[in-house]
Structure 1
Amino acid sequence: MSESPSTPPPVRPPSLIDTILSVLASFFGVQSHRNRVRDFSAGKPMVFIIVAIVLTVVFVLSLLAIVKLLLRDAGV
């Protein structure tokens, strides 16, 4: 017997790349509806939290490195 047309197709869990892209999109406040539904229905919260913490640390360390480089070039 065939499935009824009202049942949605199964949502695949996001891959690591999908998770990273979703976290980056959340940093900017933009996310497609389809990805948001996928993240909330099939994603594991702990994976998103860990990726967000890692990306935040990378972002802060990058800013510190850029500032130190600019200050060194300015002679300060």
Structure 2
Amino acid sequence: MDDPSQGKPPTFWQMLHSVLAAALGVQSGKNRARDFTHGKASHFIALGVLFTLVFVLVLIGLVQLAMHLTAR
């Protein structure tokens, strides 16, 4: 199904999965080979920056919530 030798670029969901797996450090060799062979670096960089931004905003929101709840 996700054979790296197919020659098709990865779909958005495959790229998102790769970015999340890379963030956790659990990317499979097969997916890494697909990404490096058929993916565009600019797409992965954009998704990585977007993921990092969302992650930081969620952390800020959680800290703000915790501070609000403990200020009572």
Give structure 2 stretches of 5+ with no counterpart. Answer: none
SS at match of 1:13: coil
SS at match of 1:12: coil
SS at match of 2:49: helix
**TM, length-normalised to structure 1:** 0.84
User: Quick check: which has more Rg, 1 or 2?
Assistant: 1
Partner of 1:27: 23
Match of 2:14 among 11, 18, 32: 18
Cα deviations by residue, 1:30-70 (Å, 9 ceiling, x for unpaired): 11111010000000000000000000000000000000000
Give percent identity, aligned residues only: 41
Match of 1:66 among 62, 69, 72: 62
**TM, length-normalised to structure 2:** 0.89
Q: Which runs of 4+ in 1 moved over 4 A?
A: none
Between Structure 1 and Structure 2, which shows a larger proportion of helix residues?
2
Cα distance in 2 between the residues matched to 1:35 and 1:28: 14
Give structure 1 stretches of 5+ with no counterpart. Answer: 1-7
Measured on the aligned residues, the alpha-carbon RMSD in Å equals 1.6
Cα distance in 1 between the residues matched to 2:69 and 2:6: 54
